[in-house]
């Protein structure tokens, strides 16, 4: 039912400087594939097949990665490297991806607003690639299920500690069922004193297209950025917006500890790496 997904990938990747001077954060490998690929795979396994990636200057390696590379394929074929050839082809066949550049860094809300023409008045998903979610049912699919039930915008939620209130949008909830909450209000990174609850917004959203008119009237914050959080806060005053406490484990790979943890735990889940990684971990002395 929801066919389109938007991946904002225009940020500087400041927390990963200096490597992000030359390599987009989204292309940093987690285990053995770029972190953005986890997001693309989640989108596809949630039933969506049209993807818009919002990029910016110095991000062309993302486009190269998901493009075909006939020269490389020819070399691999000649050398009879079948497995590698399959891997390389698989990446470029993953999905139909289009790109738009965000020319000025004016915030996540501004980036999503650039998707208006692509979305063309349909409900759509937004996936922030910094959040990798490992779950039995893909997180976006869980949101789509809630969307089908309530026919209104729905965002992913996770409980956080006090430290998390500085890092995420925090909602004012009204509980609807075990895992579903109606969002009465939301504040971007409030800190513990101003936080309404311990329920944080995680980088997965399903929006009705009316989010765009709210984005258009959202004022920039003190840093000159248009926040997606402020726009769906405005939307929640007019129409119901729901939050789902999703099932699964999330890694915040936009932060160095989350990035390292994701590498270890996701490698441990892969048969070909499991035994060796366990051996390395059990040999550590500290």
Residue, CB closest to ligand G1P: 169
With binding defined as CB under 6 A, does residue 201 bind ligand G1P? yes
With binding defined as CB under 6 A, does residue 131 bind ligand G1P? yes
With binding defined as CB under 6 A, does residue 229 bind ligand G1P? yes
One residue of 48, 160, 202, 235 binding ligand G1P per CB under 6 A: 202
Near ligand G1P in 236-255, by CB under 6 A = 254
One residue of 13, 169, 173, 243 binding ligand G1P per CB under 6 A: 169
CB of 131 or CB of 208, closer to ligand G1P: 131
One residue of 53, 128, 199, 226 binding ligand G1P per CB under 6 A: 128
One residue of 122, 184, 188, 261 binding ligand G1P per CB under 6 A: 188
DSSP the chain: ---EEEEE--S--GGGTTGGGTS-GGGSEETTEEHHHHHHHHHHHTT--EEEEEE-TT-HHHHHHHS--HHHHHHHHHTT-HHHHHHHHHHHTS-EEEEEE--S---HHHHHHTTHHHHTTS-EEEE-TTEEEE-SS-HHHHHHHHHHHH-S-EEEEEE--GGGGGTSEEEEEEE-SSSEEEEEEEEES--TTT-S-SEEEEEEEEE-TTHHHHHHHPPP-TTS---HHHHHHHHHTTS--EEEE-SSEEEETTSHHHHHHHHHHHHHTSHHHHHHHHHHHHT---
With binding defined as CB under 6 A, does residue 108 bind ligand G1P? yes
With binding defined as CB under 6 A, does residue 146 bind ligand G1P? no
CB of 34 or CB of 39, closer to ligand G1P: 39
CB of 34 or CB of 107, closer to ligand G1P: 107
With binding defined as CB under 6 A, does residue 160 bind ligand G1P? no
One residue of 13, 129, 203, 243 binding ligand G1P per CB under 6 A: 203
Residue count of the chain: 286
With binding defined as CB under 6 A, does residue 39 bind ligand G1P? no
CB of 97 or CB of 127, closer to ligand G1P: 127
One residue of 168, 181, 251, 259 binding ligand G1P per CB under 6 A: 168
CB of 87 or CB of 185, closer to ligand G1P: 185
**R_g of the chain computed on alpha carbons:** 19
Q: Which positions touch ligand G1P (CB under 6 A)?
A: 108, 128, 130-131, 168-169, 188, 200-203, 227-229, 254
């Amino acid at each position: 039912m929801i066919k389109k997904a938007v991946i904002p990938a225009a940020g500087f990747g400041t927390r990963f400087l200096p490597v992000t001077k030359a390599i987009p954060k989204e292309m940093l490998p987690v285990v053995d594939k770029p972190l953005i690929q986890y997001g693309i795979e989640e989108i596809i396994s949630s039933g969506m097949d049209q993807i818009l990636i919002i990029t910016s200057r110095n991000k062309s390696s993302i486009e190269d990665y998901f493009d075909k590379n006939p020269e490389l394929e020819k070399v691999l074929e000649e050398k009879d490297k079948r497995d590698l050839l399959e891997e390389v082809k698989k990446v470029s066949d993953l999905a139909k991806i289009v790109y738009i550049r965000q020319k000025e860094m004016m915030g996540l809300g501004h980036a999503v607003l650039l998707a208006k023409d692509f979305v063309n008045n349909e409900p759509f998903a937004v996936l922030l690639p910094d959040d990798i979610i490992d779950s039995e049912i893909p997180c976006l699919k869980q949101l789509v299920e809630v969307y089908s039930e309530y026919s209104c915008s729905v965002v992913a939620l996770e409980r956080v500690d006090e430290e998390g209130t500085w890092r995420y949008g925090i909602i004012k909830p009204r509980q609807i069922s075990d895992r579903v909450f109606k969002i009465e209000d939301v504040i971007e990174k409030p800190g513990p004193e101003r936080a309404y609850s311990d329920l944080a917004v995680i980088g997965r959203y399903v929006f009705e297209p009316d989010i765009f008119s709210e984005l258009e009237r959202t004022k920039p914050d003190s840093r000159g950025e248009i926040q997606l959080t402020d726009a769906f806060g405005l939307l929640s005053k007019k129409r119901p917006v729901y939050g789902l406490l999703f099932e699964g484990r999330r890694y915040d790979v936009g932060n160095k500890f989350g990035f390292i943890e994701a590498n270890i735990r996701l490698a441990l889940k892969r048969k070909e790496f499991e035994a060796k990684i366990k051996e390395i971990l059990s040999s550590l002395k500290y």
